[in-house]
Structure formats: C-alpha cells, structure tokens
C-alpha cells in the first residue's frame, strides 16, 4: 500500500491589521479635513442656509425677521432697478470679456512665441496684486475731469475733455477699462500656462505644413486651448458679476444709476435701506443666474474634454 502525499497550496496572505490600518487612515483623513469642514460649515454652509431663510422674511436688522413667503421674489419680478442692475452687470461683463480675453490672448501668444522672461511675467501680474480699492482711487484721480492726468494729456493734444466716471455714457466703459487693466495680466498668465501644455511637436508639424504664425494661432493654439479658455471664461464671468469695490469707490452707482450693478444694488438695499430680506432674495437669485450661466458655458465649451488626447 502506497500513500500519495500532496503538498497543500499556501493560503493567500491576509494581513490581520488591514482593516484596522484602513480605519486608522480614514480617521487621520477626517482629522486633517476637519478644520476645512468646520470653516466650510461656518463661513459657507451656515450663511447660505441663513440667506435662504432671510430671503423669505422682512428684516431690518433691528427687529425679529417676519416671514413673508415669496413676497420678496414677487417684488423682484416687478422691480425695474433690479432688472436694470442685471443689464448693467451684463454690459460690464461683455465689455470686460472682450477687452480682457483679446488682450490676454495677444499677450500670452507673444510670451509663448517670443520670450520666456520671468521678469516680464512678474511685471504683468503687478496690477492684479494691487488692491481694487487702491486701483479705483488711482484711476479716479487719473481720469478726473478737471485735474486728471488723462484729460490734461487729451487737452494738450487738442482733444476735448471727457467726464469718464462723471458722464453716464462713459462711466461703465471707464469702469470696465479699469478692471480690464487690473486683470488682463493675470488672465494672460493663465492662458500662457495653458499654451505651455501644447506639445512642441504640434507646432513643428504646423511649420512643416507651411502654416504662418497667425494661421498656427487660430488653427492650432486656440482649439487646443479650449479647456483653459473655458476655465478663464467661467472665472471671468463670475468675477465680473461680483464687481463691487471699484464701483463703490469710483462712482457709487452713479451718475444717474449708470453704474449701479447688481452687487452694489444688493449692498444698498441691505446696508443703506436695511431691507435684508429683499437683499437676500436678490443674492439668491444671482446665485441661480450664475449657476445656470456656468453650466451653459461648461456644456457649450466642452470644458472637461481635451483635444490633446
């Protein structure tokens, strides 16, 4: 009688401390995230929930909020100043987008094709680093109708004096020009960073096909820059809708409400007329408008897709 001995296969190794290790990592992750979660709850979540509640109340800061249902939203629908403020905000947004994107694309393309100077990039960023209040005060003096340097220069060239911030037709373009001056360097650097991600082999292939600089820019650079352009467009639109400090310092919504954008109108209703409930309703409506605009931009520009593969 013979016996056949077979060697059993070793069981796969299963560390006994696996679950405890994962649990420990999870607890550590929660501890690291806890400060950010507390900050998010204190400075974003609670104010948002509080704002939704205030938007259906009548509150003047001195008495208890009184529930009024959807009365604030019904008043919004028939408030001509609210709709005018939205139109002025959209006007300012269009002026800024045209000016910022055109100049920023030009600057980024020049930097990408001609120079890699760090000093030049740092210089472009300087206006963006200046606080908006200081920028508004600087241009308020430069564009002053009587003593401003710009009008003195125009007069020396034989051109008439311009009111800039004091003329209803020129006030909003002047505000848009100031914000464009402050932001164009930052936007140019974002686009320049996007251009650096485009492989050099693509430009070499375009050059071998005989494409010039202009044709390469429109046929190669712009299409491959689409995800970055989508990001810049979304951030720029939100930033233009949030313009406040430049308006508050330079024009205070005037002349004749010519620059009373939506943020400044919300501020006036809340802290000048003490209508916190109505201001909260306007703020919540603005959040919904920006959410819809952002979704449309992301969908139209296919921001999550890249042609680089």
pLDDT computed for residue 16 by the predictor: 52
End-to-end Cα distance, the chain: 69
Domain with residue 174: its CATH number is: 1.10.3720.10
Count CB-CB contacts under 10 A for residue 228. 20
Judged by DSSP in three states, 207 sits in helix
- pLDDT tens digits for 9-49? 555 555 555 556 666 777 888 889 999 999 999 999 999 99
- pTM, full prediction: 0.83
pLDDT (0 to 100) of residue 105:
92
- Residue 158 placed within a domain: yes
Q: Quick one: pLDDT at residue 4?
A: 47
pLDDT of res. 76: 92
24 is a domain residue: no
Asked whether residue 199 is assigned to any structural domain, the reply reads yes
Structural domain harbouring 135? 79-260
In a domain, 62, yes or no: no
Predicted pLDDT at 138: 93
- Is 180 domain-assigned? yes
Q: pLDDT of 81-128, one tens digit each?
A: 999 999 999 999 999 999 999 999 999 998 888 877 888 888 888 999
Question: Is residue 297 one of the residues assigned to a domain?
Answer: no
Asked whether residue 10 is domain-assigned, the answer is: no
Res 273: pLDDT: 93
Domains in the chain, number: 1
Report yes or no on 26 lying in a domain.
Answer: no
Q: Which residues pair with 67 in a beta bridge?
A: 57
150 closest CA partner among 186, 178, 183, 182: 178
Q: Which residues of the chain have a pLDDT value below 50?
A: 1-5
């Amino acid at each position: 009688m013979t016996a056949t001995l077979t060697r059993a296969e070793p069981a796969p190794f299963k560390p006994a401390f696996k679950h405890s290790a994962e649990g420990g990592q999870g607890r550590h992750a929660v501890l690291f995230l806890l400060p950010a979660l507390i900050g998010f709850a204190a400075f974003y979540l609670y104010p948002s929930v509080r704002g939704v509640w205030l938007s259906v109340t009548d509150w003047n800061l001195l008495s208890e909020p009184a529930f009024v249902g959807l009365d604030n939203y019904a008043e919004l629908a028939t408030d001509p100043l609210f709709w005018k403020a939205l139109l002025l905000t959209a006007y300012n947004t269009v002026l800024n987008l045209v000016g910022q994107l055109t100049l920023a694309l030009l600057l980024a393309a020049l930097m990408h094709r001609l120079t890699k100077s760090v000093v030049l990039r740092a210089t472009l960023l300087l206006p963006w680093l200046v606080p908006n209040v200081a920028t508004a005060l600087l241009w308020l003096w430069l564009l002053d109708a009587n003593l401003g340097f710009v009008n003195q220069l125009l007069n020396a060239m034989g051109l008439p004096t311009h009111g800039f911030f004091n003329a209803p037709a020129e006030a909003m373009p002047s505000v848009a020009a100031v914000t464009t001056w402050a932001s164009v360097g930052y936007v140019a650097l974002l686009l320049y960073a996007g251009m650096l991600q485009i492989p050099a082999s693509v430009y070499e292939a375009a050059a071998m096909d005989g494409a010039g600089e202009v044709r390469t820019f429109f046929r190669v650079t712009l299409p491959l820059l689409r995800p970055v352009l989508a990001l810049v467009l979304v951030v720029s639109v939100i930033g233009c809708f949030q313009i406040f400090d430049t308006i508050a310092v330079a024009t205070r919504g005037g002349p004749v409400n010519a620059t009373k954008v939506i943020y400044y109108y919300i501020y006036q209703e809340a802290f000048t007329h003490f209508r916190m409930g109505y201001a909260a309703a306007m703020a919540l409506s603005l959040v919904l408008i920006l959410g819809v605009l952002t979704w449309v931009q992301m969908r139209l520009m296919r921001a999550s897709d890249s042609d680089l593969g």
